[in-house]
Amino acid sequence: MLEIITSREIPSRHGFFTRKGGASSGIFAGLNCGFGSSDQAEIVAINRARVAEAMGVGADGLLSVHQIHSADVVTANGPQSGPPEARPRADALVTATPGLALSVLTADCQPVLFSDPQAGVIGAAHAGWRGAMDGVLEATISAMETLGASRQAIHAVIGPTISQAAYEVTEEFLQNFLADDAENARFFANGKNGRYQFDLPAYGLHRLRSAGVGSAEWTGHCTYADPERFFSYRRTTHAGEADYGRLIAAISL
């Protein structure tokens, strides 16, 4: 049984899928949807087919990109075919075409789903700290506007991501954010041994609200803190495991 986290703010069919209900085993146990992992490709395809069915589209209608921590956005107009490595290199997708589902993969980074129900335009973005700082959220909103959306009518929801309590960073990381905007200091708290704790979802919400969307929220789920429900790159690294699964978030018209 798939477990799907949704938001009342988005009327379109959508969901932040947990790791429950998948066919993968071992360290990937559950719904691993990442072809970039070392999981069996056939099993990942089964998992993605289950997601596509839940989203009401065929396997070729569940669209994704080869994520590169950029601010690049793809506008989708039809089904996606070909091998996974042929996917466009970007970190967000938008569409106004019914029958398509947009998806992004995460394992601590922010999955962000967007909807303007009045215009019939949706979007999905993968926003780690680098992509968020470089403007992937704002770029997604702009791409939706090109398709007829109004930013004041866009609802944006951040799904399960790493929380501040679990996100320890270095002085260099802090200084990088302060160089971009001195007011970013508000997203950092003092940690142990000269390190800091970074609030990624608060930063994402700040960027979304500053961009002028109609509403923005975080579901409140921490990927690091709940291994039964979520994959986490950082938790895997701390545990010394060889690889990690990827969570999927999707939205369709």
What is the arithmetic mean of pLDDT over 141-167? 98
In a domain, 173, yes or no: no
Q: What is the pLDDT of residue 127?
A: 98
User: Is residue 194 in a domain?
Assistant: no
DSSP conformation letters of 76-134: --S---S-GGGS-B-SEEEE--TT-EEEEEESSSEEEEEEETTTTEEEEEEE-HHHHHH
Decide if 150 is inside a domain: yes
Residue 135 in any domain: the answer is yes
pLDDT tens track for 91-129: 999 999 999 999 999 999 999 999 999 999 999 999 999
Question: What total number of domains does the chain contain?
Answer: 1
Confirm whether 69 is domain-assigned: yes
Mean pLDDT of the chain: 97
Q: What is the rounded average pLDDT of the residues 47-68?
A: 96
The arithmetic mean of pLDDT across residues 184-211, rounded, is: 97
Give a yes or no: residue 54 inside a domain: yes
Q: Is 193 within a domain?
A: no
Please give the pLDDT value at position 200.
98
The confidence band for 85, taking pLDDT boundaries of 50, 70 and 90, is confident
CATH label of the domain that carries residue 119: 3.60.140.10
How many helices (DSSP H) and strands (DSSP E) are in the chain? 6, 14
Residue 107 included in any domain: yes
Host domain of residue 91: 10-163+199-252
The 10 Å Cβ neighbour count of residue 97 is 17
How far, in Å, CA of 42 to CA of 46, rounded?
Answer: 6
Model pLDDT, residue 84:
83
**Contact between 74 and 93 (Cβ < 8 Å):** yes
